[in-house]
Amino acid sequence: MIAGLALALLAPHAQAGDRRIHIAHLQPPRSGLNPLSDDAFKLSRWSTAETLVRLDAEGTPQPLLATGWTRLDARTWRFAIRQGVTFHDGTALTPERVAAALQAATAAVPRPRILDGVDLGVRAEGGGVIVTTAKDDPLLPNRLSSPQLAILAARAYHADGTVVPTRAGTGPFVLTEINGVSSAHLDRFDGYWGTPARLAGIDADYVGDGTARGAALRTGAADVVEAVPVSQAALVDPALIHEVPMPRTNTLYVNTARGPLADPALRAALRTALDPAALVRTVYEGRADVAKGLLGPALPWAEGLRQPVAYPAARAPAGETIVLGTFTDRAELPEVAVLVAQSLTRAGFVVKQDVREYAHIEADMLAGRFDLFILSRATVLDSGDPVSYMVSDFSCAGSFNIAQLCDAGVDAALERAAATDPGPARQAAIIAAERAILATGAAVPLLHERVIQGEAATVSGAIRDPRERQLITEQTTLLE
């Protein structure tokens, strides 16, 4: 009888273990799932590629492929590497392979943005990995948690600089198939060093159309749906909708280097012409928070540290023509662009809009070919700390500097924040850097999003991650 009861209890798990989960993603890969690009976050959300370090819910570094670390001096760290880990191609994780993977990231063109302003040296030594930095970097373990610094097997790295992650990770799911910008498929990896996955695999589709994602959730065509648009949320069973307050800010980036808005007085006029509360009320139907700075409610310490920003005096527009860009992949952004354009037209600007898919507009955006650009931007995406985002977006050397900003005062504030140890002093330095950025008028924070994740009633254990690093893990399953 006891044996029969045990079999009965195990039966549902065995059935669940034969099932595959279907995900409808917001955006397709931008770089063929190259892990040194933003595509790394898909690999992380699928639990196929792993890093040395992971962050807990508070943003504190925890062991993953590294079992621990020691700071030998201000610029030198030693990481102990987990033993008994096998890559998906059957090769072993070693300190030498870890060092080679990190060296490939430091040599990549472009470099992963988590390494903006960071000069790393990496070598295997004595069964571990030694990482050195050119400057004091108290945030190094956080940096090594970035999905863009995942450790892959040697087979992933090609002589021409491309990195192909199929059958090259260490996670509970092995990436078996990449179908361009349409889909990807993963299977359970039975040789995983941790707890085996409960699901047989993952089938991921890229569904850029928000209405189609909403329909996939309503009809059961997808088990998990990323970023259900606000307009679709009202059409779905509320039990399937989960709002996740995100460290993500809908920001209006302002070109400070060329065009009419190179004039700080016009940038000041632009800022006062906008009504973010109206955007929250209308476009987001109240499912967002009006921005008071670059950092939102997902970082609750920020609000209590803020002080007034010293903005320059405004000059009334006199019919200057400005080009406003955004992309269609996030359904709300084109609507935001329409309302922003209306407000600026009433203020005296002539506004032209350019709205395309992200893949077709990114190059022009980064080249500074817009006067204004509306972007939904994650503010702690890489390290769990906002400094890397601020450096990437607003420093002279930033790789994602849409505003084309180069301001000595901003760079100095960012350097102070980057050099400060984690804790209250670092938080104060971060808010001082935020204040310096806002004073330039290079960015106008509009609102902080609450991303809506859709899950079928049968889904158990999908992660609702504010940092967008995790989604399906070894614990995720489908109930009967």
Q: pLDDT tens digits for 143-175? A: 999 999 999 999 999 998 899 999 999 999 999
Beta bridge partners of 23: 204, 224
Q: What's the sign of the alpha-carbon dihedral 241, 245, 246, 251?
A: positive
Helix (H, G, I), strand (E, B) or coil at 187: strand
Asked if the model's pLDDT at residue 13 lies above 80, the reply is no
CA pair distance 408, 390, nearest whole angstrom? 14
Beta bridge partners of 133: 120
Mean pLDDT score of the chain: 92
The whole-number pLDDT of residue 4 equals 34
Helix (H, G, I), strand (E, B) or coil at 427: helix
Span 456-477, pLDDT tens digits? 999 999 999 988 899 999 999 9
Confidence of residue 264 (pLDDT cuts 50, 70, 90): very high
CA pair distance 113, 308, nearest whole angstrom? 30
Asked whether the beta carbons of 149 and 36 are under 8 A apart, the reply is: no
User: What pTM was computed for the model?
Assistant: 0.75
Average pLDDT, integer, range 43-53? 98
The whole-number pLDDT of residue 109 equals 87
The whole-number pLDDT of residue 381 equals 64
CA pair distance 23, 266, nearest whole angstrom? 44
Span 391-437, pLDDT tens digits? 999 999 998 999 999 999 999 999 999 888 888 899 999 999 999 99
The whole-number pLDDT of residue 371 equals 98
Domains and CATH numbers, the chain: 12-48+171-223+456-480 (3.40.190.10), 50-157 (3.90.76.10), 245-450 (3.10.105.10)
| Selected residue with higher pLDDT from 110 and 153 | 153
CA pair distance 113, 439, nearest whole angstrom? 24
Nearest Cα neighbor of 72 from 149, 128, 17 is 128
